[in-house]
Amino acid sequence: MRSLLFSALVASTALFGVAHAATVVGNYGTLGANGVVTAPPSGSTYGFVSTNGGVSGGGQISGVGGTTGSSFQSDPFAAGVGDTLSFFFNYVTSDGAGFSDYGWAELRRAGDNSHVAWLFTGRTQASGNIAPGFGLPALDATLVPATSPIIPGAPAWSPLGGDSGGCFDSGCGYTGWIESTYNILVADTYTLNFGVSNWIDSGFDSGLAFAGARIGNTQIDVGDTIPEPASLAVLGVGLLGLALRRRRRA
């Protein structure tokens, strides 16, 4: 197996009028409607992380584990007591059966990077609800819909790389867009964090799309907008590491 590691600070001019700096590990990018992932309810584009091009240990939740994955941490933003944080997610997987890939979103305190709240989880399983994800931390946010079974089938989505349009056994598919909302309890400066991880092996990839993060009526820059080339000071995210591998089937 071959993979490329990207773990760096990525700087560009504003996507929403302010300087942007985000920490990326593995494979992160931006897209419009692509395959089974439609444009999000919040607009025409979204950000994503994928296990395709992920790195060893990337995108994992501590204590849950995994193999290879990717993560994205936003630049810091301020929020006050009672502010409502909201955004949309779509979990996509070409894996199935007992290979329980997972994706997640977490709110952290910017000052010390400490955990504040779990905002979304999704996890592959052969049947039943995919979000919230089984065996993952309990959510502190409210999801609409509250639970989501998989929309079944071999999902065509370019961030899955060579596994786009592929499927390993029951459980492949996508959730569709799910809205998450959370009320801020303490005035502070925060970051939004997104991750996705393979489970047990590194075959048959999964990904998490995210879009439309807002505090009240104010949009937060989480890198979910495709910038025009002329607006970039630095285009520093060459993120599509290629991992060529397949799980052998019996």
pLDDT band at 119 (very low <50, low <70, confident <90, very high): very high
CATH number of 35's domain: 2.60.120
Q: Are 11 and 21 in contact (CB under 8 A)?
A: yes
What's the pTM? 0.85
Task: Decide if pLDDT at 235 tops 80.
Answer: no
Tell me 150's DSSP state. Answer: -
Q: For position 15, what pLDDT does the model report?
A: 30
241 in any annotated domain: no
pLDDT band at 78 (very low <50, low <70, confident <90, very high): very high
193 in any annotated domain: yes
DSSP strand pairing (84-93 vs 218-219)? unpaired
Give the domain extent around 172.
7-231
Single-letter amino acid code for the residue at 70: S
243 in any annotated domain: no
Question: For the chain, what is the domain count?
Answer: 1
Tens-place pLDDT, residues 18-47: 334 589 999 999 999 999 999 999 999 999
Burial of 217 (0-12, 13-18, 19+ CB in 10 A): exposed
